[in-house]
Amino acid sequence: MALTRSTPIPVDLAQAPLRTIRPSDAVSVYAHPRAQLVRLAENGLLHRLADGYYVVVPQDMVGRRWIPGLESAAAGIASAIYGVENVIVMGVSAARLHGVIPRALATAVVAVPRQHRPIVLSDRPATIRFVKRDTSSLDAERVRTELGPTLATTPEQTVLDLAHRPALGDAEADVSSAIAALFARSDQARLRQLATEQRRLASLRRAEDWVRGLP
């Protein structure tokens, strides 16, 4: 089948969670899904994120240069692997979605139920890191991204996660200011409750020390 920019993306693929698909998601649509997805990408209807992962290009961006944000791309890839309800954007990536780390990062961090090797993106010098966690125990909320809604840790959970592993995500220089901003918008009773339930009281104390130490 010849593909052009006017060729529609099949509905089942266009409506995939966070618009992100793999060849295995297209086996019911195409006899040779990998080759067809490559052709759709060549014609600007899909954007290739990494080997075997594509995102549907918004209709108004077809034919124009477009690339989704790193955190959106990470959520999309993780959702394609584990299901959209089983992944939670966390750490510095959650801080980015909450708007407290303004600069773009080169590492995205996603909590998932089973470990997965890091995925290096092909459309930019960036890496997705997967952290095995009991995602059902994390305090999360649904946030909007350019690819659709995804779960991300709440400000309270993000404070604890950043204080617990400040180097995770290779943005340690941004962590103290991110914690301070999130701490200010956190429900303090909820923050202490989570720290107690998750045995992160030491992380909470570290976060409090950083907040007090900021000018």
Q: Could you report the per-residue pLDDT of 155-202, keeping only the tens digit for each? A: 999 999 999 999 999 999 999 999 999 999 999 999 999 999 999 999
**Global pTM value:** 0.92
Q: Could you report the per-residue pLDDT of 122-156, keeping only the tens digit for each? A: 999 999 999 999 999 999 999 999 999 999 999 99
Q: Show me where the domains of the chain are located.
A: 11-61, 70-213
pLDDT over threshold 50, residue 5: no
Residue whose C-alpha is closest to residue 140's, from 88, 93, 188: 88
3-state SS string over 58-119?
Answer: CHHHCCCCCCCCHHHHHHHHHHHHHCHHHCEECHHHHHHHCCCCCCCCCEEEEEECCCCCCE
Pair of tokens at residue 192? 């202490």
Q: Which fold has domain 11-61?
A: Arc Repressor Mutant, subunit A (1.10.10)
pLDDT band per the 50, 70, 90 thresholds, residue 212? confident
Cα distances from 202 to residues 110, 174, 178, 182, 209, in angstroms, run 23, 20, 18, 17, 11
- Distance between CA 3 and CA 79 in Å, rounded? 27
Q: Read off the DSSP letter of residue 8.
A: P
**How many Cα atoms are found within 13 Å in the side-chain-facing hemisphere of 49?**
28
The amino acid occupying position 157 is Q
- Predicted local distance difference test score (pLDDT) of residue 8: 75
Pair of tokens at residue 141? 């909320």
Pair of tokens at residue 64? 């124009």
Q: Could you report the per-residue pLDDT of 31-43, keeping only the tens digit for each? A: 899 999 999 999 9
Backbone angles phi, psi at 64, to 5 degrees: -120, 160
Distance from chain centroid for Cα 16: 16
Q: Tell me how crowded residue 168 is: count the other CB atoms within 10 A of its CB.
A: 19
DSSP string across 127-170: EEEEEE--GGGS-EEEE--TT--EEEE-HHHHHHHHHH-TTTTS
pLDDT over threshold 80, residue 88: yes
pLDDT over threshold 90, residue 207: yes
Q: Tell me how crowded residue 44 is: count the other CB atoms within 10 A of its CB.
A: 16
Q: Could you report the per-residue pLDDT of 107-116, keeping only the tens digit for each? A: 999 999 999 9
% pLDDT > 90, the chain: 84
- Predicted local distance difference test score (pLDDT) of residue 131: 98
pLDDT over threshold 50, residue 2: no
| Mean predicted confidence (pLDDT) in 90-102 | 97
